[in-house]
Structure formats: C-alpha cells, structure tokens
Amino acid sequence: MDIQQQINSLRDELRQHNHNYYSLDNPTISDYDFDIKLKQLQALENQNPEFFDENSPTLRVGGAITKNFETIVHEHRMYSLDNSYSKEDLLDWEIRIKKIIEGPIQFTCELKYDGASISLTYENGSLIKAVTRGDGTQGDNVTANIKTIKSVPLKLRGDFPSKFDIRGEIVLPFEGFNKMNEERIEIGEEPYRNPRNTASGSLKLQDSAEVAKRPLECLLYNITGKNLGIDSQFESLESARKMGFKVPDLAKLVDSIDAIFEFVAYWDVHRHDLPYETDGVVIKVNDLQQQEELGYTAKAPRWAIAYKFKAEQQSTHLESIRYQVGRTGAITPVANLEPVELAGTTVKRASLHNADQIEKLDIRVGDTVFVEKGGEIIPKIVGVDLNQRPSDSQPTVYITQCPVCETELVRQEGEAQHYCPNYAGCKPQIIGRIQHYISRKAMDIEGLGGETVALLVNAGLINNYSDLYELSKDRVLPLERMAEKSAENLISGIEASKQIPFERVLFALGIRYVGETVAKKLVKHYKSIDAIVSATIIDLVAVDEIGIRIAESVVEFFGLISNKEVIERLRSFGIQLEISAEKLANQTDKLKNKTFVVSGVFEILSRNELKKLIEDNGGKVSSSISSKTSYVVAGDKMGPSKRTKAEQLKIPIISEFDLIKYIK
Ligand code: AMP
Ligand code: ZN
C-alpha cells in the first residue's frame, strides 16, 4: 500500500468508527485504539501535506478562527412552522389540507428537537457548507464550527444525490450540558441557563476548537433539493440515516389524526426519558407530491404543523426569598415556594438568578408565581400572576449586605451577580473553599466530607484549609456522629493528601478562574508556588493560553497577606508546592523560545516521547514547517515535501541523537 492509500484507508476506517460512535451510538473499538489510529493518520498527514483533505477526520478538533461570520443566502428558504396546541387545532388543519388534497393522506410524526436550526449543503458526498437559519432567507456561514460536531458526516456513505441541502437541529444533550456547568461552577463561573441557548451560542463562537470541546449533536429531519429520487418524508429520513446522518429512530408513519394524537400523548410523557430537549411534535404530510400541491404560506409550509407540548408549568405561592453565598462570594437569590407537583417531582425552590431577573419580572414575596421546568435541573419562575397580587404588596428590595456576615455587597461593572467581598471572614465562603480543597479532583481527602467540613468550621476547629493539618483524633472525636474509626480515617486521609502533586494543590487553592487545566499550565510554566507568587500580570499573560482575567485573579489571590500565610503553613506541613524533583530532573529551559517540527520514524524514542522531551525542556512542538520553525527533528522516512520545505526555508534538520545530546 502506498502512502496515499494508507492515508485514505485510515480516513475511511476512522469515519466508520465516528459514525458507529456518534450517529449509531454503537462503538466497535475502544477510545484508546481510536486515538492511536487518529494519531497515526495525523502523523501521516503531517509528513505528507500534499494529501491534505479539508474533510479529514483529523480536522474534527477545530482550530479555525472566524472573526466575522459571512452571510449566505439559502438556496432553499428555511421556513418556520405553524403551531397547534390541541386536538381541535389538528382537526382544523386536516380540514384545511383536505380541501386541497383528494384521497387518503399519510403523516410522518417526528419529535421537535429544541436547539438551533442548521442547513447543511453536500455536493458529491462532501460537506460544502453549514449555515444557520438566520431570518429564513439568509443565515451565517458557520461551517468551521459545524465540522467539529462529530455526528455531522464530512463524507457521505452509500448512495446520495449529487447535490442537496439537509436540515436539522444542533442540540446539546443534558448530560454534556450538566457536565459543562459542573466545570463552570468549579472555576467559580455562573452556570449556563439552558441547553438550547448554549447550543445556539456555540455556533457563533469564533474559535472552532472551543466548539469542538462542547458535546453538541446534530439531529437531521429534512432533505431539500432537486432530483432527489425520494417520494416521501418517511423515506427521506431513512435514506438520510443510510447516508450516515444522525436521525433518531423515533418517527412514526400514521394515517389518522387519532393516531397522531396517540403519538403526541405518548411523547408528552416519555420525552423526559430522551437525552436531549424536545418541545413538541412535528407532523408532516408524508407524500412529497402532496406536499408540493399544498405548498407554503408566507412563513410556513401548509404540509406540516408543530404540536407544542405544554411547558410543564404550575402556579404556586412565593413564600420567601433566601440569598445563598457561594464559595467565591457570589450571591444567588433562591425562591422558597409552597410545595407543588411539577413534571413528576415536588418543587419547593426555584432559582431567581440575580437582581436583574427579579426586577425584570417584578417578583415579590407573597406573589402567586408560575414555575416551569425546562432543561435546567432547578426549576425557574417565568412570571407572576398579577391578578392575585395582594393589595399591600411591596416591590422586592435586593439585599445590600451579605446575609451571613453583613458585609456591604459589591457588584462589578458588567457582572450580573452581587458578591460578598469579605473573603477571609464570611462563613459560607470559608466552608466552601475548604470543601473545594478536599474535593475529589483537588486534594481528594478520603474520610472527610462536605458536611464534616461545615461541622469543623462551626466548631471553631478550622478556619482555612491549612488548619486541616493540625487536626488530631482527639480534637475531632467530640464532633457530632464522629466515631473512633471515622476519626482515624479522617486524620489518615488528611495525612495522605501531602503526597498530592503540585498541580492539583494549585487547583485546590480555589483561585477564581484557575480550573484544572489552567493549574496544569501554570505549574508547567512556573514549576513552583514561589515563582507563581512573584509573577506579575504581565508575566502571567505571556504564558501560553493565560488571559488577562486569569492573570488578574492569580495576582489578586497572592496579593492577600492571609493567603500568603496559608501557603507558608501548607509548606510547613509538607504539602507539595513545587514540581517533584523527579519530574523536575527531566525538565530544563534549554529549548526555550525554540519551535520544533518532528517528522519521520525514530530509533530510540517514539514520536510522542520526543515531543514530550521537547516540551519538558521548554520547547514548542508544531505540526507544520514555517519560517517560525527553529529545527526539524527528522527520523527515518521523513516526508519528502517536508524536507523540501525545510530546505527552502533553510531550517536546520537534526536527528533525535543531536537533540538528546544537546539537552544532556
Ligand atoms: P419555530 O422555531 O417554532 O418556528 O419552529 C420551527 C423550527 O423547528 C424549525 O426551524 C426547526 O429548526 C425546528 N425543528 C425541530 N425539530 C424539527 C423536525 N423534526 N422537523 C422540522 N422542524 C423541526
Ligand atoms: Zn459574607
């Protein structure tokens, strides 16, 4: 097999695996094996840039930046849908279409996915462009972003029309949405409101690598074009599925309004079992010829209608508003409600988000409010029943002081949230920080839970995380529900945390915006807490991928004397505050400011080991040769085009031995 065949066969194989995994939910290979193959392909493509293919599976990780999204006119307009809310509405619709169509009519019933609509254009089996709905006539070209969504096939399978548009919805399944929010909360950012807005916001991100990280999916429902060789909607769903698109297997072909209603009734209940949000059912006349006869109104097809599920809404009484203080000091207002049944659960609380939200809806204690359960876990208040407002009702005055420590709250320009600035003395912040410190991804202290932390703080035994290391069995035993054995576990868990590596310690400190990834980057660059403490904002932003917001937050954190003291105490207890000697022994600055391209097959090190060696010694690895490349590290079978390019640009070509010798 020559190189090109090898590349093509890897691409085909990876496409098949992507399809199995993302469209069929049925992987046939481990993630690890998939990664290995992807890396093989990447290596071959790097060495042989002449076989570049913009639809290669290696390009799924994104990287393209779009500054301004180009406006594109849809070749086939993207219509809206008429809505219906009752069986009567559906019967009326049937009467309207029976005036135009003679003979029996079949209907395809589908779910109405709640996300952002998208139109994909394919030519000769390749994805050409992806455009948002916009105003229906023209939308934004978001192709680079859409290509990172793994369930969007870049190349089609089997038989397909030579040119067509296919429409669908970009959704963010609950699981991925909740995970994204957990990560945001972890770094002290406000969680996203709901999956739909987050999905549609994702399409307009400028950095496609950011989009690639989001677990978006594309569900397809309509093929549009000329000479498609398809006779019905139901058939078109099947053929889209065969071409490799993700088309949920939930549509049903029926021939009466009663059967439509059965479908609606079933999904009104069972939609809660689906992994993504739906807001109704779409009913379409199945036969494409009949569709053509029916045509369109000014804004929607006559041959289709949406049936909207009633948003699960209830009215109840707002008893009081409680203000919660998070570990970063952020204040969240929470509504205490008279308990009410909603979507199968009893609801007692709803998030009010922030002061603006309360003001916008003019929510007052004593009001009868409407609560809804959308994609988010916590229900929200969507409105107030003004007819039921008591005559003596008073507008809500947002608190100006911390509900716990009574410090005057602050609200920064451009932020929605109020904050309690009493960093050192506010109990919920103190408890929250220690809870973060001991959490699984941070110091992972076994034998110590969040509630025990609160007990310890309230009992005056600890006030910050460094105090943990002064606890002893005798001191914790008097605590409520603390048995001999659990006290021992607690102390040994705390002791064991002294082995946790520095990068996790840095994350555990709970510096705002310093999540796991940022902590790793900082540790890699600075290697010790002392170096980080003495870094200025200017130093910090010079580090790869550290922005101004993070830099300011780091400097502010270490600017506090109290934090410096805590760090000194952690040091005295033997917490890891620098990269371990073993790790450090293999790290130098010798390749600082140098960029390397690695190409070919090597004798003593694998490509990955070689890359790691370069990075550990302060160098940067890039995948393609440019004038910025300092050296090309070449092994056996280096790609000929790479060699030519390096020679043209007069970039020195060295061997793995040269590199190792230089570092040693
Ligand atoms: P609306 O936004 O209420 O006008 O509803 C029309 C939108 O519903 C379309 O633009 C699609 O994005 C979306 N939609 C979701 N699922 C489907 C489906 N199965 N068939 C047609 N449209 C759908
Ligand atoms: Zn406070």
Q: What's the pLDDT tens digit per position in 378-404?
A: 788 989 999 899 999 999 999 999 999
DSSP state of 58: G
CB 342 within 8 A of CB 371: yes
The reported pLDDT for the residue numbered 412 is: 85
pLDDT tens by residue, 101-153: 988 999 999 999 999 999 999 999 999 999 999 888 999 999 999 999 999 99
Greatest mean pLDDT among 42-56, 158-172, 510-524 lies in 158-172
**Distance separating alpha carbons of residues 250 and 242, to the nearest angstrom:** 15
Does ligand 1 have an atom closer than 6 angstroms to the CB of 81?
A: yes
Please state which of the ranges 29-43, 78-92, 139-153 shows the lowest mean pLDDT: 29-43
Look at residues 440, 439, 409, 441 and name the one whose alpha carbon lies nearest to residue 325.
409
Ligand 1 atom nearest the C-alpha of 251 is: 19
Q: Is the pLDDT at 374 greater than 90, yes or no?
A: no
Instruction: Tell me the pLDDT tens digit for each residue of 622-649.
Output: 877 888 889 999 988 777 778 888 888 8
Catalytic residue among 37, 99, 112, 360: 112
Indicate which atom in ligand 1 lies nearest the CA of residue 83.
3
Q: Is the CB of residue 282 below 6 angstroms from any atom belonging to ligand 1?
A: yes
Mean pLDDT of 480-493: 92
The dihedral sign for the CA sequence 471, 477, 482, 486? positive
Query: pLDDT at residue 583 above 80?
Result: no
What number does the ligand 1 atom closest to the CA of 117 have?
A: 12
Mean pLDDT along residues 361-367: 95
- Does 221 contact ligand 1 (Cβ within 6 A)? yes
pLDDT bucket at 25, cuts 50 / 70 / 90: confident
Q: Inform me whether the pLDDT recorded for 47 exceeds 70.
A: yes
Ligand 2 center to 446 CA (angstroms): 29
pTM value > 0.75:
no
Q: Considering only CA atoms, which of 341, 408, 340, 347 is closest in space to residue 378?
A: 347
Does 448 contact ligand 1 (Cβ within 6 A)? no
Q: Are 571 and 577 in contact (CB under 8 A)?
A: yes
Q: By alpha-carbon position, which residue is closest to atom 18 of ligand 1?
A: 112
Separation of CA 264 and ligand 1 centre (Å): 16
pLDDT of residue 505: 97
pLDDT for 628: 84
Share of the chain above pLDDT 70, in %: 99
Q: How confident is the model at residue 241 (pLDDT cuts 50, 70, 90)?
A: very high
Q: Which atom of ligand 1 is nearest to the CA of 219?
A: 16
Report CA torsion sign: 55, 60, 66, 69.
positive
Shortest-distance Cα residue to atom 9 of ligand 1: 80
Q: Is there an atom of ligand 1 within 6 Å of 306 CB?
A: yes
Q: Give residue 112 CA to ligand 1 midpoint distance, Å.
A: 6
What pLDDT does residue 376 have?
55
Indicate whether residue 112 lines ligand 1 (CB < 6 A).
yes
Q: pLDDT band for 563, please (50, 70, 90 cuts).
A: very high
Q: Among 228-232, 550-554, 581-585, name the one with the lowest average pLDDT.
A: 581-585
Q: Stretch 6-34: mean pLDDT, rounded? A: 86
Nearest-angstrom CA–CA distance, 182 and 201: 18
**Is 98 marked active-site?**
no
pLDDT reported for residue 527 = 92
Residue 548 has pLDDT above 80, yes or no: yes
Q: Which ligand is nearest to the CA of 325?
A: 2
Pick the residue whose CA is nearest to atom 3 on ligand 1.
81
For ligand 1, atom 2: residue with the closest CA: 80
> How confident is the model over 89-97, as a mean pLDDT?
94
The answer for residues whose C-beta is within 8 angstroms of residue 130's C-beta and 6 or more apart is 118, 119, 120, 121, 141, 142, 143, 145, 146, 147, 152
Q: What is the mean pLDDT of residues 332-356?
A: 88
Q: Which residues contact 159 (CB under 8 A, 6 or more apart)?
A: 239, 242, 243
| 307 C-beta closer than 6 A to ligand 1 | no
Question: Which among 182, 189, 243 is positioned nearest to 215, based on CA atoms?
Answer: 182
Task: Measure the CA dihedral 425/431/432/438, to 10°.
Answer: 130
CA of 113 to the centre of ligand 1 (A): 7
Q: Tell me the CA–centroid distance for residue 656 and ligand 2, in Å.
A: 58
